[in-house]
Structure formats: structure tokens, C-alpha cells
Structure 1
């Protein structure tokens, strides 16, 4: 099935196994709940979401998709992890979240079916989990309308990110389940910038995400040495 080509079965199984805990803010997904207001606020600063058509690539249990819908966006969340999508759909029903829908589909398949259909595309904490991140970046660029925005977040690849994102987060602080990340799948900002340019996207803003284990607080900064976010845009048609 073509939808599963750019996916690692082990990664899908990993997140499906934890799917029932996705909306527990004290679970393994606590970091996502904590950073969600930060990344949502950053997106909103650059492009107010009300009335926009948005697709969240690799939506998982729907934490970001749900939040964007509550800002007035028409949101489609897509993922290939079946159990996580079921949790996202159930949460939307229970919470009464308006304007959010979920679909089991790859970014590439959606791009082929609905090119240029979205004002905003988000792809957060997902690129480091797929075999071919370049293909996902291209699909995101295809999905967004001219003049629209594409947001990415991922993890840098360097000794500091290995120490903080794997050793610290997974083995010392137990913020994430062990085995959540593979160091060689991390993506340097220069690599992601190259992928974005190759797909016809212009890099508009770069931000870093930092964490203090003593205060257990996250914040956004200019430090992209570990977690970082890109805001890119497709040029308007001349």
C-alpha cells in the first residue's frame, strides 16, 4: 500500500502502543502538552488561524490539531498510526472540538490528492521518525497554497542533542520512553533548510525550544542546538 511507503513500522508500533495515554498530561506525552501552548502561540503570531484551512502532518493523538481548531481553523489531521488516530477522533467527540477531522493517510498521498489546498501546513516532531524526511517536506510544500505557511519542528543532530534529547530526556529525566528517538535520524537546521529550499519554500523564521529540568519549564529562544522550529512560506504566484 503506497500510504505506508515513507513510514517505519517500528515507529508506528511505538506510538500506537502508547496511544491510550496521549491525552493524559502526566503521561509519556507530557512534554507535548507542555510545549503545545508555545508552538501554537508562535504559529498564531505569524499567521492568525481563524478561518484558515490547516493540515497537521503526523498529528498523532491530535494535541496540536485540536488546539488549532479551537482557534477557529478548519483542521485536518493525518497520520499512519491507526490507534493514535482513533484516540484523536474520540477526544474530538468527547471534547466537542469543532472543525477538526482526522484521516489515516500519508503526507505524500494527500499531496497527490489535494495539492495547493491548505493555507497552513504543520509538521511537528515528525520528520525525525520517517525514513525519508525530504519526501515529507516536498509533500508539505505541495499541499500549501501560494503565499501559505509551512511549520516544521524537529531535533538537531550534534553531541549536545544526543546528550539532552536522548540521554537526558529518555534515560535520566524519563521525560520520554526509552527508544523514542534515534540519533542518526535527527536533522541539522542546515539540512532542513536545504530540503525546504529544494521544495520551493522560503525560510522566514527559526526558533529554538529549551527546557529547564529544575523548574520543569519549556520556553522558546534563539538557541537551535537541540529542539528547533522553522516557519517557511511558499512564494505567491507572480
Structure 2
């Protein structure tokens, strides 16, 4: 892999090996299927609807979020560097006859150089904690969105609680995720992500936490950002 690409080959291989299971709601990707309606509704509400908008999903994987945004009427481009996951996303779009979604194997930074200020909404969910330089991805997302447009991120906080819940609990006790899915050192504190956003001319507008009850197997959004969290930002209008 080109050394200038902001990606970890081991991370790409990890998700490519599981690619055939992306759309199985009882697979390792069950949490993504379960949280998708929550994050989709939050994005749609803050963005003032998705119908007719140009939307980019950075780190789209097998297309769970990208597909659902297209079904809300958006014109969606999903990008990723995991080849097998993208093929699964493309195949699912064909089988499900999803209109308005396309996929490309391209880095966010490369697309930003190619198509600045192209999108009304940019999403980058559950991806920043898997790349070597998350600030570079944030900057690319800012370049890609139109002035005044929305950019949404979700990731994992870095603290002892998140280590216990997101790694020990989710990967080793509850088996919600395959072991080795996350590396604690790559988790990102909200203050760090806010700093990346400010330097990229993105203004933090809203934040949410995400909680999980292992007994009811239910997720919900709340104000506790100590483990999983989402932020909504807007590009500074010139």
C-alpha cells in the first residue's frame, strides 16, 4: 500500500475478512445494524432532512448507513479502502434495488483534492479510531462539505471506563464484537476531536452519547459521551 494513504493495512484486512457478514443482522456487525436507526434519525433531524441532498459516507464499510441514507432520498456516495467490504456494499445495493447510492474505493484525502465543497452532508461514523491520522480525515471531510454544510462523526472516548465497556465488555465478555476490533490507544477524547474540527473550520453544534443495556440488548442516545459518542459539526460559511 502507498505509504501516503492514511490507512492501516491490518485494519483494512480485519474488516475485509468479515466482509461477507456485513448484512447479516446477527453477525459481528449486529451492533451496527442496531445503532443505525438511531444515528440515521439524528443525522436526518439535524440536517433538516436528507431528501435531494448530496451526501458522502466516509469509511462506509458494507454500506449500512449509506444505504439507509439513500432510502431517505439522498444521493449518496460511500467511500472506503476495504475492497471486499465495498464489493459487498455494491452487491447489496443491486440486490435490494437501492436507488441513489454509489461506492468508490478512494481515500477521503484524495477525494477532497478531487471534489472540494461538493457535498451537503458528510458522515464519518465508527471510522476515526481505525486510521493512523484521524485529524487528516477530519480535515478532508471539512474540505468535501459545502460551506454551511453538516459533518457528522462518531467514535470512542479514551478513558478507563471506555476501555472496560468498549473492549473488555463488548469484545471479551458480551462478545458483541470480534476480539481485536478496537485498539484502546486509538480512541479519541471529545476534546481532541473538537480540536481537530476547529483546526479544520468545523464548528461543533451538537453531541450525543450512546448507551447499551446488555439485558434488553437495546441501544439509545443520551448525553453521556464517556464511551461511544457522536458529534455534529458545520462548516464555517465564508
Q: TM-score normalised to the size of structure 1?
A: 0.98
Determine the structure 2 residue equivalent to 1:20: 20
Within 2, Cα distance between the matches of 1:37 and 1:5?
31
Are 1:209 and 2:210 matched, yes or no?
A: yes
Q: Secondary structure at the match of 1:230?
A: strand
- 1:106: Cα distance to partner? 0.3
Determine the structure 2 residue equivalent to 1:53: 54
Within 2, Cα distance between the matches of 1:234 and 1:128?
22
Determine the structure 2 residue equivalent to 1:196: 197
- 1:2: Cα distance to partner? 5.1
- 1:3: Cα distance to partner? 8.7
Within 2, Cα distance between the matches of 1:149 and 1:89?
25
Determine the structure 2 residue equivalent to 1:148: 149
Summarize deviations over 1:120-174 as a string: whole Å, max 9, x none: 0000000000000000000000000001000000000000000000000000000
Question: Is the alpha carbon distance of 1:3 and 1:121 closer, same or farther for their aligned partners in structure 2, counting shifts above 3 Å?
Answer: farther
Q: Secondary structure at the match of 1:16?
A: helix
Conserved in 2, the CA contact under 8 Å of 1:120 and 1:144? yes
Deviates more, 1:196-205 or 1:3-12: 3-12
Q: TM-score normalised to the size of structure 2?
A: 0.98
Conserved in 2, the CA contact under 8 Å of 1:3 and 1:109? no
- 1:235: Cα distance to partner? 2.0
Q: Secondary structure at the match of 2:36?
A: helix
Q: Secondary structure at the match of 1:76?
A: strand
Within 2, Cα distance between the matches of 1:209 and 1:109?
31
Determine the structure 2 residue equivalent to 1:187: 188
Conserved in 2, the CA contact under 8 Å of 1:3 and 1:105? no
Q: Secondary structure at the match of 1:214?
A: coil
Conserved in 2, the CA contact under 8 Å of 1:3 and 1:108? no
Summarize deviations over 1:26-75 as a string: whole Å, max 9, x none: 00000000000000000011111000000000000000000000000000
- 1:223: Cα distance to partner? 0.3
Question: Is the alpha carbon distance of 1:3 and 1:20 closer, same or farther for their aligned partners in structure 2, counting shifts above 3 Å?
Answer: farther
- 1:236: Cα distance to partner? 1.9
Within 1, Cα distance between the matches of 2:98 and 2:141?
25
- Listed as ranges, the gaps of 5+ residues in structure 1 are none
Within 2, Cα distance between the matches of 1:26 and 1:213?
15
Determine the structure 2 residue equivalent to 1:36: 36
Determine the structure 1 residue equivalent to 2:82: 81
Superposed, 1:60-209 pairs within 5 Å as 60-209=61-210
Q: Secondary structure at the match of 1:184?
A: helix
